[in-house]
Amino acid sequence: MTVTKWPPIFAILVIQAIVFAGLSLVLPSANAIVGFAIPVFWQMCGQGVASAVITKTFKFGWGWVIGQLVAPPMVILALASGLPMWIYPTILILLVLVFWNVATNRVPLYLTNTDTSAALLKLIPKKKTVKFVDLGSGLGGTLRYLASQSAENQFYGVESAPLPFALSWCLGKFSGNHNLKFRYRDIWKEDLSEFDIVYCFLSPVPMARLFAKAQAELKPGSLFISNSFEVPDHTPNKIVTVKDGRKTELLIWKI
């Protein structure tokens, strides 16, 4: 079955819907067996457990599985809490604006740490001026750090999640770094030919396609650097292991 190829947000909603339909069918028999009407909260706990098990069966990551487990009972708790109804759509809209690319590209938002940014700085050649791009630049922290430490080079962020882009753009302006620009754009629409160094911290999902794009568009001698995620069937030319808590690996290919 191709569930794992669907956009995950769609797949998890379909799983919840199928489980809901299945449990609705067996609920009358379950009530008869236990001898009382099973409270809605416990029904939703069952909904969460069944959805989580099916989601794990389809090899989704633990984040999705835990989300599937806790979401149904949380909805009941939230409704019972008496909070004003506008809060729920507001939270949902904010989450969508931040985690825009989880649903479509399977890339969540997590951030490059300072030790890794410092390791990236060391990889920038000193002899010539370079253009460095962070594909999926998130809140832009890595680029603000690099731009402040390396005034002679140009730094670009490409981001399509609305809220992280807006924040990175504002923080970039406040930082006063004139060698720093953010583009509100899908990384697949960005022409990479102008860049000397491409950095990305995405997920395993887009790596093969992104590396093919980099190979097609980057100038010979440019660097393609992936934080943590390998490119299937392509061994990196160099791996830098950062001395941080998670021993981050920067995988580096020379094009």
Ligand X SMILES: C[S@@+](CC[C@H](N)C(=O)[O-])C[C@H]1O[C@@H](n2cnc3c(N)ncnc32)[C@H](O)[C@@H]1O
Up-side HSE of residue 233: CA atoms within 13 Å toward CB? 4
Write b or e for each residue in 75-103: b if 16 or more Cβ atoms lie within 10 A of its Cβ, otherwise e. ebeeeeeeeeeeeeeeeeeeeeebbbbbe
Tell me whether residue 42 or residue 188 sits nearer to ligand X (CB atom): 188
| Least separation in angstroms between CB 76 and ligand X | 31
| Least separation in angstroms between CB 112 and ligand X | 3
For the record, the structure tokens of 197 come out as 């160094």
Tell me whether residue 41 or residue 110 sits nearer to ligand X (CB atom): 110
For the record, the structure tokens of 47 come out as 């909904």
CA distances, 176 to each of 147, 149, 150, 156, 158 (Å): 10, 13, 13, 14, 19
| Least separation in angstroms between CB 110 and ligand X | 5
Tell me whether residue 88 or residue 188 sits nearer to ligand X (CB atom): 188
| Least separation in angstroms between CB 114 and ligand X | 11
For the record, the structure tokens of 110 come out as 């997590």
Tell me whether residue 56 or residue 185 sits nearer to ligand X (CB atom): 185
For the record, the structure tokens of 49 come out as 């457990």
For the record, the structure tokens of 22 come out as 């299945």
| Least separation in angstroms between CB 70 and ligand X | 22
132, β-bridge pairs = 155, 197
Tell me whether residue 6 or residue 20 sits nearer to ligand X (CB atom): 6
Could you tell me which residues come within 8 angstroms of residue 90 by beta carbon, excluding any fewer than 6 positions away?
A: none
The residue with its CB nearest to ligand X is: 136
Tell me whether residue 56 or residue 183 sits nearer to ligand X (CB atom): 183
Tell me whether residue 137 or residue 179 sits nearer to ligand X (CB atom): 137
| Least separation in angstroms between CB 161 and ligand X | 4
Residues at the contact surface with ligand X, assessed by CB under 6 A: 100-101, 105, 107, 109-112, 134, 136-138, 141-142, 158-161, 164, 186-188, 201-202
Helices (H) and strands (E) in the chain, counts: 9, 7
**Looking at the chain, how many residues does it have?**
255
What is the helix (H) or strand (E) element at residue 10, kind and residue range? helix 8-34
What is the helix (H) or strand (E) element at residue 238, kind and residue range? strand 238-241
| Least separation in angstroms between CB 57 and ligand X | 26
